[in-house]
């Protein structure tokens, strides 16, 4: 994901460097991860499953952000990564703005998640357990022949779930998801004057559509609230952008 805004540093931040990329983890990352893990039946919380969930979330979001970081490094800029309450950010100061370059960087995050998913499925196959798909609406969703350990099965189910859907959701043409960035650059390539405005309109409509889908079809109030907020967020950016007579240069 790309920033709403870079969160301020706190004394509880965890900082380290991985493969030469500085990583900072804001305490809200763990808090929101915990809350997401506690969804469902609160009277039967399994500590092992909660810990596995947090570990899977941490690794998956880190892999996604390192996908962006690898593309940034490929273009000889210096990335840094932040994990916070809204997920992850991979930031850099672009040495120059180039739509195709930005599209590659935005796409590299979801692509890294799909690679991790492919690696997990290959590992299951290598352990001589069958891998297949079930049709989930329009998309084929990966399933596997379970192992003996319930915790291992839980770990794999979460890894598949998050890397599959996190990648797909991130490719929706909604700000500030990766797909929203890709849509903006694609619109800019075809119409530099009105590209940003058009991509914001698309973002409002797509986010509102997903919010309605979340309530009506999935009956998932969390999805509805999240995308309802993104629709509102895009709408306010659009109003501000028009207020500036189109002079708002992006950069959020």
- Which residues lie near Zn ion (CB under 5 A)? 1, 109, 178
Angle (CA) 235-240-242 rounded to 5° is 95
Q: Least CB distance from residue 1 to Zn ion, whole Å?
A: 5
Q: With respect to Zn ion, which residue has the nearer C-beta, 52 or 167?
A: 167
Q: With respect to Zn ion, which residue has the nearer C-beta, 53 or 66?
A: 66
Long-range contacts of 201-208 (CB under 8 A, 24+ apart): 201/238, 202/173, 203/173, 203/174, 203/175, 203/230, 203/231, 203/234, 204/231, 204/234, 204/235, 204/238, 206/172, 206/173, 206/174, 207/172, 207/174, 207/231, 207/234
Q: With respect to Zn ion, which residue has the nearer C-beta, 1 or 172?
A: 1
Q: Least CB distance from residue 230 to Zn ion, whole Å?
A: 14
Q: Least CB distance from residue 2 to Zn ion, whole Å?
A: 7
Angle (CA) 43-45-48 rounded to 5° is 165
DSSP state of 252: -
Q: Least CB distance from residue 43 to Zn ion, whole Å?
A: 35
Max Cα separation, the chain?
62
Cα separation, 213 vs 202, in Å, equals 16
* Residue at shortest CB range from Zn ion: 109
What is the distance in angstroms between the CA of the first residue and the CA of the last residue of the chain?
Answer: 11
Q: Least CB distance from residue 60 to Zn ion, whole Å?
A: 11
Q: With respect to Zn ion, which residue has the nearer C-beta, 101 or 156?
A: 101
Q: With respect to Zn ion, which residue has the nearer C-beta, 1 or 156?
A: 1
Q: Least CB distance from residue 69 to Zn ion, whole Å?
A: 10
Give Cβ neighbours of residue 208 (< 8 Å, ≥ 6 apart). Answer: 227, 228, 231
Q: With respect to Zn ion, which residue has the nearer C-beta, 178 or 185?
A: 178
């Amino acid at each position: 994901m790309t920033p709403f805004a870079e969160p301020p540093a706190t004394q509880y931040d965890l900082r380290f460097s991985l493969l030469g990329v500085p990583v900072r983890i804001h305490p809200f990352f763990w808090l929101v991860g915990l809350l997401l893990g506690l969804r469902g039946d609160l009277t039967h919380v399994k500590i092992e499953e909660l810990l596995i969930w947090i570990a899977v979330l941490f690794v998956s979001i880190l892999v996604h952000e390192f996908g962006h970081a690898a593309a940034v490094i490929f273009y000889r800029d210096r990335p840094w990564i932040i994990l916070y309450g809204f997920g992850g950010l991979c930031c850099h100061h672009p040495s120059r703005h180039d739509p195709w370059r930005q599209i590659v960087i935005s796409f590299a995050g979801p692509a890294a998640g799909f690679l991790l998913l492919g690696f997990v499925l290959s590992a299951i196959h290598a352990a001589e357990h069958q891998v297949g798909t079930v049709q989930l609406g329009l998309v084929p969703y990966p399933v596997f022949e379970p192992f003996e350990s319930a915790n291992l099965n839980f770990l794999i189910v979460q890894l598949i779930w998050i890397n599959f859907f996190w990648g797909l959701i991130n490719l929706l043409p909604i700000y500030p998801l990766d797909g929203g960035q890709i849509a903006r650059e694609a619109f800019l390539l075809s119409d530099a004057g009105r590209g940003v405005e058009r991509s914001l309109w698309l973002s409002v409509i797509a986010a509102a559509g997903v919010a309605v889908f979340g309530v009506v079809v999935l009956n998932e109030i969390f999805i509805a609230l999240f995308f309802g907020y993104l629709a509102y967020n895009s709408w306010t950016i659009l109003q501000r952008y028009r207020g500036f007579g189109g002079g708002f240069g992006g950069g959020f």
